[in-house]
Amino acid sequence: MPLVIAWSIWLHRNEIVFQGKTADFGQLLYIVKLRASWWFKAKVPGSLLSLDLIFSDPSNACRKDYLTPKTALPVAWSPPPLGFLKFNVDGTCDKSGNYGVGGTKKP
Q: What is the DSSP string of 59-73?
A: GGGG-GGGSSPPPPP
Average pLDDT over residues 12-32: 93
The DSSP call for residue 54 is H
Say yes or no to pLDDT of 76 above 60: yes
- What does pTM read for this prediction? 0.55
Q: How many other β-carbons are positioned within 10 Å of the β-carbon of residue 4?
A: 19
Average pLDDT over residues 76-84: 79
Residue 91 host element (H or E)? strand 86-93
